[in-house]
Every structure is written in structure tokens, then in C-alpha cells.
């Protein structure tokens, strides 16, 4: 049999070498064994600022408070003892498995929140997922095909935007399942947007604090299983933020590291754009800081983006306004390629949006104003007299002294700092906080700065 097979093969020496295209004659399909349902989603038809009655419940969720702030302590000594010499120092729990790690002892994972910290953090993330779901749908339904086309966003880009909205359904479902029956639900929203360019810019700023807000608390969660699911959703959100930068003609990722921010920062930036929520909506514990207005916030819709004054549509996000941009000053249809900011995979601008040494004019509110869902939260601060602007970007918190302070206004010069050599620290979509002190904080303990924050905003750098 073997010899015959060999002879047969030799008799047709070229038949096995001839390329051919195969076609399927039968299509096999199989139904999924389990198809998990998604969370209930409604098409929100009401948008705009809250005009309802004065709420009977106000302020952040609270219980007994043990201290005015969490004290700064020395590093835990055991964290300085591991030799980090590339050798193994403990017995292996299994082959090819080093000792250590959290959640690695073989116990069955439980994907649910297990502490107040977990619940309040994941609930905040769910509020963020809901507004993104609504915002993306709202943009597609509000602006016409012709308006999107005029902004350089064609059918393929609009479908990507629709797909990103569908991603939020999955994210909202996962977070709702981990929170349980009292998980926050959809609300109604207001957006400081009047055209496609403003919509894209607001979206890239909103997804920035959504992404950074989760990075800030992810590694502090008690439930490591919950952190795993959040990690796998927030990496998608990071891609969304980059897509919106590309849609807006910005360089897609001008940093080496993405920044993480405290939960109260994310809630401060998000809450003003939530108009109203159902009466029994789950409330949050996080603080709402007063808004900071950047009076000469860079406008990426201009050829000369740094040559601006009062061209934003709201405080907090400080997203761009196109209202006073002439056809010759706008970059969307600029003929010169290095001045053009049409949607693209990447764009290099000849005129920077901001730069080290740029004078930035700031104005902030005093605390005590109503904000958030149903105007039921109140801005507050425990900080003293404003003295610094803290630029929070990548791995750095860089303080610059406030100058020319007059009431609630001042100016500051954008610092010249680097994360590592060759990487300007203040680049991309960053955060500015007005503070009363220049305390030393790092990415893992950035919340220590909260008692010193007077006001907060997004800053467009780069």
C-alpha cells in the first residue's frame, strides 16, 4: 500500500503544486450556548439644562466622617525589601508560577463590588458610560449627513461613531451587573455643542476624563475581579478618545503615558452635563469642585490655535467654540497641509496649540453653586487661598505659581517640564487644578491633593 501510494504520487508530480481557490459548498452554523442580555437602553429625547423644581436632597452621599483628610504616611517598609535581582526568593506555588500576586491562589473569581470604595467608584464609571452612550447617539441624530460631510466625516466615520455607542451598551451592562439592582440608570443630559466640530471636541475631552477617571482608581479597588473587567473596558475607551482626536485633526497620542485622576475630579467634570436623573437614582459620594475657566484656552479649530480669547462653550470641559472663526482663520479646509486640521490618521501642526512659557489666563468660581443631576449637588472646597496652578499630565504634577491674582482671576505660565528626556510632560488633553499648596503627589496617591483644590478644568495643550 505504501509503495503504491508512492507510485501514484510520482505519476502526478505537478497536481499537488498547482494553486487553486476553494469554495465552501456547505455553511455550518451553531447557535451560541448562552447569549447574555444587555442592560435596558432608552433613546433619550430630552436634552438641555435642568429646569425642574428645587431638589429636596442635596449634596454628595455621606455618612459619619472620621477625619478632615487622610494623613500622608511613610512608605510601608515591606515594599522596600524585595531585592529585585532577577532570582526567585520563595517556593513556587505551581510549575512556572512565581510566588506572590493578588487573586492567584486558585479561588473562584467573583465579579462584584465588595466595598464602599468599589461601589462608589464603579457607579461613577457607570454614570460616565451612560453619558457617552447618549452623547454619541445624540451627535448622530442631531447633525445631518451634510454637516458631518462638511466636517470631513463620511459614512465610514459615522458608522464608527455608531459602533462606539454600541460599545457603551456592553460597558454599561458589565458595570451594572457588578453593581447590582441599585446601579445608576440613564439620565438626561445637556451638551455645550452647536456644530460637528464642537461635538467632536467635546467628545474627545469627555472621553479623556472618563478614561483618566478609571485609571485613577483602578488599582485601588478591593475587588480585583471587578478591576479586571474595568481594565478591559477602559482600554476600549482609550481607543475612543484617540479616535475623537483623529476626527478633530489632532495628533492622536502626543504622550508617552496616559494620566489618571481622582474620582472627585472625574465627577466634577462630568456632573454639570447631567441635567436630571430619576427620583430614586443612586447618589454618589464624590466632591464637586468649583469650575475653572481658561480664558485663552487653545482652539484646535483655528490655524493659529493659541491666538484666542474666550472661545469656549462652557467651563470645566472648556471645549472649543467655532462661533467667531472666519473661513480664513479656520483650519478645517486650510489649503496649506501643515495648517489643515481635517480628520486624519495623524496631523502635525506648524503652529502649536500651546507651548512652554505660554501665558494662561484663569478665572474660577467660589464654592456653593448647584450642579449635577437635578441641580442636587453643591460645589465645595476645603482649600485655602489659591496660590498655584497644578498641571496634571502623564506621570507628572507640575506646579506653577499664580501671578497677578485679583479676586478669582490670575494668570500662569505653562511650565517647561518633561516626563522623561524627549517627552514634554504637558501635552495633549491635560488637567489644571487651582491649589493652595504645592504638595508632592504621584500617580498612585494623587487624591492627597483634593483638600488643596480650589477649582478644576480641562486644558488643551500641545
Q: What is the pLDDT of residues 366-409, one digit of tens each?
A: 999 999 999 999 999 999 999 999 999 999 999 999 999 999 99
Cα–Cα distance, 249 to 340 (Å, whole number): 8
Residue 27 above 80 pLDDT?
no
Mean pLDDT of the chain: 92
Q: Specify the pLDDT at position 19.
A: 63
pLDDT tens per residue across span 275-334: 999 988 999 999 999 999 999 999 999 999 999 999 999 999 999 999 999 999 999 999
CA distances from 401 to 113, 415, 419, 427 (A): 41, 10, 20, 19
Please report, for residues 89, 160, 260, 320, the alpha-carbon distance to residue 199 in angstroms, rounded to integers and kept in the order given.
54, 15, 24, 9
Compare 18 and 53 and report the one with higher pLDDT: 53
Helix, strand or coil, per DSSP, at residue 231: helix
Q: What angle in degrees, to the nearest 10, is found between the helix axes of 224-247 and 116-142? A: 30
pLDDT at 1: 43
Query: What cell does 346 get?
Result: 495623524
Radius of gyration of the chain (CA): 26
What's the rounded mean pLDDT across residues 200-218?
Answer: 98
Residue 53, pLDDT score? 85
Strands 388-393 and 396-401, by their bridges, are antiparallel
pLDDT at residue number 80:
85
Segment 126-149, tens digit of pLDDT: 999 999 999 999 999 999 999 999
In 180-262, which residue ranges form alpha helices assigned H by DSSP? 196-218, 224-247
Query: Is pLDDT of 267 > 60?
Result: yes
Locate 374 and state its grid cell: 437635578
By C-alpha distance, which of 141, 157, 169 is closest to 42? 169
Q: What is the mean pLDDT of residues 104-125?
A: 96
Q: Distances in Å between the alpha carbon of 425 and those of 18, 177, 350, 366, 394?
A: 58, 38, 20, 29, 6
Distances (CA, A) of 188 to 44, 198, 372, 373: 7, 20, 11, 8
Longest dimension (CA), the chain: 99
pLDDT tens by residue, 226-245: 999 999 999 999 999 999 99
Q: Name, of 12-16, 84-88, 319-323, the range with top average pLDDT.
A: 319-323
∠ CA 274-250-301, nearest 5°, is 75
The arithmetic mean of pLDDT across residues 252-276, rounded, is 97
Query: 57: pLDDT confidence band, cut at 50, 70 and 90?
Result: confident
Query: What pLDDT is recorded for position 9?
Result: 40
Specify the 3-state DSSP secondary structure of 168: helix
Decide: 272 and 458 in contact? Cβ < 8 Å. Answer: no
- CA atoms of 103 and 96, how far apart (whole Å): 17
Distance CA 207, CA 252 (A): 13
Q: How confident is the model at residue 21 (pLDDT cuts 50, 70, 90)?
A: low
Give how far Cα 279 sits from Cα of 187, 276, 373, 376, Å: 10, 9, 10, 11
Closest CA to 424 of 257, 293, 265: 257
Q: Are 61 and 287 in contact (CB under 8 A)?
A: no
Amino acid at each position: 500500500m505504501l509503495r503504491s501510494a508512492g507510485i501514484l504520487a510520482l505519476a502526478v508530480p505537478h497536481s499537488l503544486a498547482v494553486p487553486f481557490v476553494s469554495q465552501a459548498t456547505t455553511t455550518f452554523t451553531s447557535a451560541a450556548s448562552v447569549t447574555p442580555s444587555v442592560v435596558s437602553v432608552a433613546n433619550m429625547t430630552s436634552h438641555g439644562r435642568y429646569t425642574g423644581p428645587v431638589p429636596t436632597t442635596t449634596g454628595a452621599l455621606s455618612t459619619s466622617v472620621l477625619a478632615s483628610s487622610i494623613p500622608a504616611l511613610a512608605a510601608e517598609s515591606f515594599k522596600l525589601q524585595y531585592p529585585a535581582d532577577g532570582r526567585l526568593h520563595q517556593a513556587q506555588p505551581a510549575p512556572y508560577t512565581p510566588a506572590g500576586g493578588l487573586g492567584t491562589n486558585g479561588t473562584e473569581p467573583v465579579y462584584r463590588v465588595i466595598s464602599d470604595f468599589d461601589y462608589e467608584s464603579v457607579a461613577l464609571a457607570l454614570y460616565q458610560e451612560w453619558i457617552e452612550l447618549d452623547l454619541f447617539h445624540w451627535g448622530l441624530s442631531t447633525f445631518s449627513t451634510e454637516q458631518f460631510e462638511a466636517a470631513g466625516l463620511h459614512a465610514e466615520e459615522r458608522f464608527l461613531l455608531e459602533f462606539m455607542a454600541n460599545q457603551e451598551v456592553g460597558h454599561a451592562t458589565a458595570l451594572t451587573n457588578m453593581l447590582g439592582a441599585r446601579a445608576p440608570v440613564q439620565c438626561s443630559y445637556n451638551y455645550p455643542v452647536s456644530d460637528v466640530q464642537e461635538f467632536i471636541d467635546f467628545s474627545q475631552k469627555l472621553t479623556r476624563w472618563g478614561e483618566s477617571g478609571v485609571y485613577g482608581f483602578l488599582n485601588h479597588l478591593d475587588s480585583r475581579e471587578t478591576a479586571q473587567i474595568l481594565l478591559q473596558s477602559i482600554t476600549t475607551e482609550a481607543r475612543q478618545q484617540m479616535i475623537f482626536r483623529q476626527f478633530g485633526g489632532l495628533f492622536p497620542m502626543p504622550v508617552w503615558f496616559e494620566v489618571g485622576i481622582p474620582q472627585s475630579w472625574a465627577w466634577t467634570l462630568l456632573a454639570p452635563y447631567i441635567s436630571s436623573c430619576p427620583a430614586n437614582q443612586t447618589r454618589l459620594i464624590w466632591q464637586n469642585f468649583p469650575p475653572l475657566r481658561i480664558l485663552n484656552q487653545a482652539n484646535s479649530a483655528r490655524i493659529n490655535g493659541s491666538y484666542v480669547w474666550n472661545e469656549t462653550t462652557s467651563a470645566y470641559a472648556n471645549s472649543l467654540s467655532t462661533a467667531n472663526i472666519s473661513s480664513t482663520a479656520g483650519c478645517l479646509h486650510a489649503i496649506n497641509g501643515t495648517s489643515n486640521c481635517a480628520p486624519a490618521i495623524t496631523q502635525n501642526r506648524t503652529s502649536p496649540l500651546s507651548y512652554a512659557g505660554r501665558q494662561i489666563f484663569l478665572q474660577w468660581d467660589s464654592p456653593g453653586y448647584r450642579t449635577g443631576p437635578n441641580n442636587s449637588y453643591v460645589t465645595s472646597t476645603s482649600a485655602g487661598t489659591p496660590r498655584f496652578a497644578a498641571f496634571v499630565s502623564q506621570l507628572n504634577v507640575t506646579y506653577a505659581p499664580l501671578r497677578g491674582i485679583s479676586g478669582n482671576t490670575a494668570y500662569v505660565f505653562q511650565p517647561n517640564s518633561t516626563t522623561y528626556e524627549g517627552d514634554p510632560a504637558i501635552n495633549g488633553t491635560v488637567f489644571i487644578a487651582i491649589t493652595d499648596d504645592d504638595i508632592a503627589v504621584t500617580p498612585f496617591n494623587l487624591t492627597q491633593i483634593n483638600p488643596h483644590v480650589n477649582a478644576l478644568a480641562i486644558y488643551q495643550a500641545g
